[in-house]
Structures are given as C-alpha cells and as structure tokens.
Structure 1
C-alpha cells in the first residue's frame, strides 16, 4: 500500500541509480502494437476472471475513490523513487543490487502484460524487499478518455495477473500519461486499489549524458518529490512540460524516503 521510502540517505546514492537508468539506451525497443495483440490473446485464457470483473463493476456504484498521492512540501530531507515498466534482466538485477546495497526502497510499477511475460523479474523484485505496483494492463496512455467500465476491466485484468504471480493484487497504481479524473480514481478503488501515484518528475535513458547532469538534476528537487524513472519508454509532452517547471537548484538537500501515506496525511494537515 506504500510507496517504499527511506530516510536521510545521501543524494549521491540516488544519482547512482539514476545513472543506471541512463545507460538503458542500449536496450532494444519492442513493437508494442503487434506484441500486445499476441499477448492479449494468450492472457485471456490463462489469467482473467469474469467474476472479479463483474464484482468490480458493481463496486463502481459505491462512488468511492482511491487516494491520490502527490509531491508534498515537507521539511524532512526525503524523496520517493519509482521505476515505471521493466528493462532487460541484467539491468533489472543491477538496479535491485544497488537498492539493496544502499538499503533504499522503491516502487516498481509494471503492467500486467509485462509481468506475465517476465514473471521471474517480478518475483525477484518482491524477494528483494521492493514493492510492486500496477501500471494497468498494458501501460495504456490517456485512460481518462476511457469509460469507467473499460478502465475497471483494464485494472481488474492486470490485478488477476499479479495475483497469479505473487499471490495478491497490488493496492497501489500508477497510470501512464493519464489525468486522474474521478472516473479513474473510482475505477481504481472498485478493483481494490487504495492509492494512486501522481509524479511530476520523469526521467528515462535519454535524460542525462553525464554524472554531473544527474547530480544537478537531483539537487534541484524539493523535499517530498516523487521521481519516476521510465525504464523502457519515451518521455511524452506532458511529462517533459512537468519537468520544465522544476525550480532552480537548492543547496545541501539530501535524499531519503518516506511512507506515501505519511505524505498524504501531512498534506491534509
């Protein structure tokens, strides 16, 4: 239910992990359209439960919404880290190794299709003590344009895949380039998602060309920021605009991690 966080760690550690993401440019790109059509057909019979989808659709009538977790202004020197999508096995193992070495926590938001195709990596993430969150069924963009029924089906099908692999459904979700409308938040809650994460700070393998660039970026972040590293995707216009609005560098700020629910509570106060 949390975004995993850890207090008072030097930002150099975080920079190292960001640099790992920066070298993922050598990874091959996948033709998503053709790839996903085949994956959908294969997954239909193995994972999906019509009963769970029907139950979730009925819960839409409750009009309850998942909690939205955003950046928050706090005095504590803390940041949150998410990885969106999966990279190749070698890169994923290196990321997990660094997180473990420096005793840092992150949330890996993975789509249902990616999870079904790389169950071993999903299990490795869990065994390493990191958190798995849902990235929807296929990391589809602009889900706010879909009907509530279609959003529910998307989230519920992803949940069924995770339940098959790790024995439970994630209770935290992040969508790819999506506005978190009431319909999206209601659909998330109906499928058992308690928290939805909204990030304003996005990186991918093209973000930096040097350690100094990465260091400068991290120093500009406010305490309480959520950093999202997209492992196998481009940064879209909306994400680049969010990045462009970041403020000028601050001095002597250090990175750490805090429970996402604590962020929400402090914001409410």
Structure 2
C-alpha cells in the first residue's frame, strides 16, 4: 500500500469521526439541553399560583355563585349522562365505543389525581368527542363541609391536572353527596368553573342483565333527567377531625383507578354492556342522550335551606 492510499484512508477516517462528533453535538447534546424535565410533574399539580388567584377572587365581595345545571322540564325526549370518576383505560375505551355506537353524548367527571396518574385516558375521552368535568382532586364527598381553602385547593388542582394534558378548560363541576349551597358555588366560580351539575337519577351498576330489564329501567326515567353513573369510589369527608386532615391530607387516602379492590363497579359487572343495553332501550323510546350543557341553568337553592325571595333567586334562565 503506497503512502497516498494510506493518507486517503486516514483522511476519510478522520472525516467520519469529526462528522460523527458534530452530529452528536448538534442533534443529541445541544438540542436535548432545551427539553424540560417532564418525568416529575408533582410540583406543577400543586397549582399554587392558581390557588392564590382563585382565593383572591373568592374573597371579593362581588363574586357570584356558579349556576347549577338541573333537569329539563320541556318534555322533550332527552336525557344527560354523567360518569362519576375516571374509568381505567380499557373500560373507558369500551364505554366510548358504546357511546359512539348509539351517537350518545356524555360528560366524564374525572379526579385530578387519576388524570395525573393516567392522562392518556382523559385524552382518549376528549378525542372521542366526549366532555370532561371536574370531580375534585380525589372525588371528595360533602364538599360543602370543607373550608373555603380546601374547596379551592381541590378544584384548582383538578383544573390544573386536566389543562396540563388538554387545552380545553373544564367548566362543569360535580362532587359526590354534596349540597350545592352558595358558599361552595362561589368557590366553584372562583376556581374558573361556571356550572355545577345536579343529577336526579343515580344509576346503580349491576342491576341490568338483559334487554327486558333495561327497557323497564328506561321506562321509569322521565324525559329531561340527568343520570349519574358511578365509576370510582368517593372519599368521605372527616368533618370533626381537622387535626388528622391537616396532618395527613385526605387526598393521600384516595384509591386511584389502579386499585381494583376499591372499585364502585363490582368485578362481575360489565358496565359497558349495561350501558349498551340501556342506550338501546332509550333509543327504542325515542330518547337521545345529549350533553348536559343543553339543560336548565339556575341559581340553585338547596331544599334543606330556608328560602327567601324565591321568585328572584329561583328564576330559570
């Protein structure tokens, strides 16, 4: 081998090595320097800025309570479906397939901690054209018994968890076993939510096994009803144990959708099949499931509270 060929080979090797180093520098090192660390989003889910802003709004004298969406009373053959809790991904996919099959609309009220744990499930719901609502961060019951700070924290953290994974900010709120008084509804408004949803029918999974039972159930539901379908367990409020709540936040006690032992839907129940039978029954009666946003919006007065100036406060928009 002469020196010219040897020199050419050395030059080619050097060029290859230099090119490889430049490629690594330009495409593998410099560009990755600007990729944020997205492996730990815990701090972002705290929503500290959003909570401060909401608390300032909540303390304003002119803040108005959020309105409550309730039943239709025009007799039109419509119902609204709301799912309480975010289902795991396999169940969510099956429920969405059933809704698409029947051209039905629904709102999935999701817990912020479950969204943080499995955001792809929430994205699946949104991409299917269904709506997502705020079900508090842990599915907290008796929200009206919480302090204003606790209410705002639960709501804002859930809003933050959802909007971190979807550009659409929810405007619908629900909480299990909760009385929608003005104090709570002002917190709902301060957190950026316009409406709270009040159901009049609570569906219990496991009671529909065939089309005949589904037909019988559908016949018992009046037009204009809002049907709540439980998916996950809720967290009980410890009203008289403030010290324990402060020492160990109640959100730590919430089972996520990965905890099969705590599911509301018994393992033997196929909720998607029940929903299919139920929607088939409603279709036979000419009843369509629509988004709850189409229903009445009122200034809500709980039944167990004294009523003053009902003509003004109870007006339907």
Query: With structure 1 as the length reference, what TM-score do the two structures score?
Result: 0.72
Distance 1:103 1:258, change over 3 A: closer
Where relative contact order (Cα < 8 A, 6+ residues apart) is larger, the structure is 1
- Distance in 1, matches of 2:95 and 2:44, equals 30
Q: For the aligned residues, what is the CA RMSD?
A: 2.3
Residue 121 (structure 1) aligns with: 121
The answer as to whether partners of 1:85 and 1:232 remain within 8 angstroms in 2 is yes
The answer as to whether partners of 2:83 and 2:230 remain within 8 angstroms in 1 is yes
- Distance in 2, matches of 1:74 and 1:258, equals 15
Deviations 1:21-48 (A, max 9, x none): xxxxxxxxxxxxxxxxxxxxx8642422
After the TM superposition, which residues 1-269 of structure 1 pair with which residues of structure 2 at under 5 Å, given as runs?
A: 44-60=42-58, 61=60, 62-233=62-233, 253-258=285-290, 260-264=292-296, 268=316
Deviations 1:141-190 (A, max 9, x none): 10110112210111011111011111242111111111111111100000
- Distance in 2, matches of 1:57 and 1:83, equals 28
Residue ranges of structure 1 left out of the alignment (5+ in a row): 1-41, 237-251
> What is the Cα deviation at residue 111 of structure 1?
0.7
**Larger Rg over CA atoms:** 2
Deviations 1:95-129 (A, max 9, x none): 11111122211000011011111111100000000
Aligned residues: 212
Report the 3-state secondary structure (helix = DSSP H, G, I; strand = E; otherwise coil) of the residue aligned with 1:268.
Answer: coil
Runs of 4+ in structure 1 displaced over 6 angstroms? none
The answer as to whether partners of 1:140 and 1:175 remain within 8 angstroms in 2 is yes
Distance 1:262 1:209, change over 3 A: closer
The answer as to whether partners of 2:110 and 2:135 remain within 8 angstroms in 1 is yes
The answer as to whether partners of 1:74 and 1:224 remain within 8 angstroms in 2 is yes
> What is the Cα deviation at residue 258 of structure 1?
4.4
Report the 3-state secondary structure (helix = DSSP H, G, I; strand = E; otherwise coil) of the residue aligned with 2:133.
Answer: strand
Residue ranges of structure 2 left out of the alignment (5+ in a row): 1-39, 237-283, 299-314
